[in-house]
Structures are given as structure tokens and as C-alpha cells.
Amino acid sequence: MELYPAIDIRAGRVVRVRRGDPGSEIVYHPDPLAVAEACARDGARWIHVVDLDRVFGEGDQTAVIEELVRRVPVRWQAGGASSTAAEAERLFACGVARVVVRAPAGAAALEELARRCGGARLAVALDVAAPPGAGVTPREVPALDHAGAVALARSARAAGIGAAVYTDLGLEGRLGGTDVAGAAALARASGLDVVVSGGVNSLEEITALRDAGLAGAVVGRALFEGRFTLREALACCSR
């Protein structure tokens, strides 16, 4: 299983926000490059980067991402869930290896994205609905129920996309664990390589994801808050 340490960038700093709420920002480091270099020294093969300025319509951190990719020789996955081929192509021009895409128009949009960008370089975002009362900030694209996530994942596979990033919005940002069973069921039903994002809180959780056959996990807050080290997490992935 691959581990993807997360670097979310807002106004040039490394931050985390909870459940997509820009008002919940926690600043963890003033220098994304220093964080990325530390991840590479500790053995990361992938890093997950998100330009929160673009997500929130506040600006653009493209130049920062370009510098990170140029100076830190790992494979880069760009989150934020681009919804058009032009947005994905902008990130590929920065040198990222994989772009996480969202398809508000469904299967036809995924086919167009895969045709223009290459399905092997894309992952589809699967944001699964939080339960009522979870306090999740509304998103531009409505969250899916499990059946909808399976249907979209199968459409992605049919379009030639090989991976998905699965986020349970009820668990994201809480450090309360992930939906291991739901993510594993989605992987089996779709045939995609499923990367779980949001909620990873312990080495035991990483081990459970690995043993369930998941392809990867995006980890941010747990690393920044010292729940475990990156080297420890990578060791769990490789056992």
C-alpha cells in the first residue's frame, strides 16, 4: 500500500481545514518546500498536494506546486478534484504524476477527461455523504451515497481511469478513523485502486487499510500532530 503525506497549501503555508470549511484552518508550517523535502528524506514515494486557494476561489498556488515538483523528486498527486480537462492539464504542466478529478456531469465527463489526459494519470474523487447532522460544509458537487459512489467508480473504470480517492465526509477531519469496510467494498465492486483520504489516525488504522487490500491512504493531520511518524507509517504499509 502507498502512503501519501498531504500538503495542503493556502496563502503559501501548509494548513489543514476540517470537512472543507475554510474557517477551520490550522496552520502547521510556513514553508511547503521544507515539509516536502522532509517527506522525501523520510522515504515518501508519493506526496498529495492541494491548492486550497483555488479550491476556495481565493487565488492560485500553481507557482508553489511547480517549485515543489521541480525540487522534490517524488511522485506528486494533486487533489482538490479538478472538474475539467483544462484544470487537469494545468496541473500536469506543473509536472504532477496524477490528478484527482471530479465529474459533475457523470460518465460522459469522465470519458472526456480520460481521452484528453490519459486515464492512467487520473483518479476519480468519490466523496461519500456524511450522516445528517454531521456539520459538513456543503460542496460544489453533492456528495454520493454508497450506491452512487460504486456507479461512478464503475464509470471511471469503463473510461480507463484506474484509481479513486475515497473520502467519507462524516469522518474527514476528525482523526476518528476511516470507513475501512466501505472503502474495501467499493474497491471490490469497481475494480479500481482505491486510496482512502480523511480520518486516518493511527498505525493500526493504516495496517487495517493495508490488510483490507486498499491501494493507499492520504495522511495529513495525524502526521502534523504527532500521532505517528512518516517512517513508522511507511513501515506499516510495506509489511
pLDDT by residue (tens digit) across 32-57?
Answer: 999 999 999 999 999 999 999 999 99
Q: Indicate which residue of 51, 127, 168, 179 is catalytic.
A: 127
- The predicted pLDDT at position 216 comes to 98
pLDDT over 90 percentage in the chain: 74
Q: Indicate which residue of 8, 51, 53, 179 is catalytic.
A: 8
Q: Which three cell numbers stand for residue 14?
A: 501548509
Catalytic residue list contains 211: no
**pLDDT tens digits for 125-158?**
998 875 544 444 444 455 688 888 999 999 999 9
Catalytic residue list contains 31: no
Q: At what angle do helices 203-211 and 230-238 cross, to 10 degrees?
A: 20
Q: Residue type at 231? A: R
| Residue 91: strand, helix, or coil | helix
pTM: 0.92
Q: At what angle do helices 62-71 and 85-94 cross, to 10 degrees?
A: 40
Confidence bin at 173 (pLDDT 50/70/90): low
Number of compact structural domains in the chain: 1
- The predicted pLDDT at position 80 comes to 85
Of residues 171 and 124, more confidence is placed in 124
In whole angstroms, what separates CA 98 from the centre of its chain?
10
Q: Which three cell numbers stand for residue 198?
A: 480523511
Which residue segment(s) compose the domain that 124 sits in?
2-238
* CATH number, position 41: 3.20.20.70
